[in-house]
Amino acid sequence: MNQIDIPPVLVTGATGRVGRVVIDQLLDAGVPVRALTRRSEAAALLPAKVEVFAGDLTVPESLDPALSGAGAVFLVWTAPPQTAAAVVERLAAHVRRVVFLSSPHQTPHPLFQQPNPMAVLHADIERLIAATGLESTIIRPGMFASNSLAWWAPAIRAGEVVRWPYSAAESAPVDDRAIAAVAARTLYQDGYVGGDYVLTGPESLTQAAQLDAIGDVLGRRIAFEEITPDEFRSLWEGTVPSSAVDMLLAAWRAAIGQPAYITTAVADILGTAPRTFRQWAVDHAIAFTEGS
């Protein structure tokens, strides 16, 4: 098919960790891309071939120009929940297909089974999508490998002790690039309508082992101090919403003594094994040594 015949895919969360890479993957596959952002200056951060639209998920009618003439949407929801129903309704009025970035809240593993507002929101959006008749695919990554950039990189860069709770809690961090590659593949290739995929990294690692892997890559031991949940709450107060902190603490506490849940979905869909956390750390080593 000539590129001119392919309707564009609208990528929401286009400036975020996953959406930004979804854009590159779609462009590589020859798919025309539209990007949604609330920030006019963000256009400069995106590839020149992308058609950038201003829009805000909390103002559903602001999406209409970006949706008009689009064929599919990659939906990332980090906004408050109030406008989700109106937005999904608008998607259904304009496009045929949606791929939603959700989470593994249905997976029977303690790491994913702690009650939290994000899981409730994701489940609500999935129900809204199902009720519209949109052709949909749900992708459910576990812990992103890149969380460690926000969690640990500032202390590691500063040569400070990493103060963290539940060092024995296990997870299978998944590389954002794998999440984005799966999302893109399910957007541009046939065969994924109705698909529901839990995406994980290839190995179960304690948080301590993840820090060791980063230290290994940097060629130095990372000083670590185990702190209590209350110390952790105080440390992150004012930086991260308390509901997010509570969600993480509950998940890690429940995961102690349990190997992480691991799927083969990334390899099944992409045909290549997902990168290990160590490989992710090699590729992002500079973030632990330079910059902010």
Ligand X SMILES: NC(=O)c1ccc[n+]([C@@H]2O[C@H](COP(=O)([O-])OP(=O)(O)OC[C@H]3O[C@@H](n4cnc5c(N)ncnc54)[C@H](OP(=O)(O)O)[C@@H]3O)[C@@H](O)[C@H]2O)c1
Instruction: Please report, as ranges, the residues that interact with ligand X according to CB under 6 A.
Output: 12-19, 36-39, 42, 56-58, 76-79, 101, 103, 118, 141, 143-144, 147
Q: Min. distance of Cβ 16 from ligand X in angstroms?
A: 2
d(CA 208, CA 131): 43
Cβ-closest residue to ligand X? 16
Nearest CB to ligand X, comparing residues 51 and 223? 51
Shortest separation between residue 102's beta carbon and ligand X, angstroms: 7
φ, ψ for residue 22 (rounded to 5)? -60, -40
Measured from the CB atom, the residue of 6 and 45 that comes closer to ligand X is: 45
CA atoms within 13 A on the CB side of 244: 9
Least distance CB 54 / ligand X (angstroms): 9
In the bound state with ligand X, the residue whose beta carbon lies nearer, of 123 and 218, is 123
Minimum CB distance to ligand X smaller for 17 or for 278: 17
Closest approach, Cβ 22 to ligand X, in A, equals 9
In the complex, the smallest distance separating the C-beta of residue 147 from ligand X, rounded to whole angstroms, is 5
Nearer to ligand X, 61 or 190 (CB): 61
CB of 117 to ligand X, least distance (A): 10
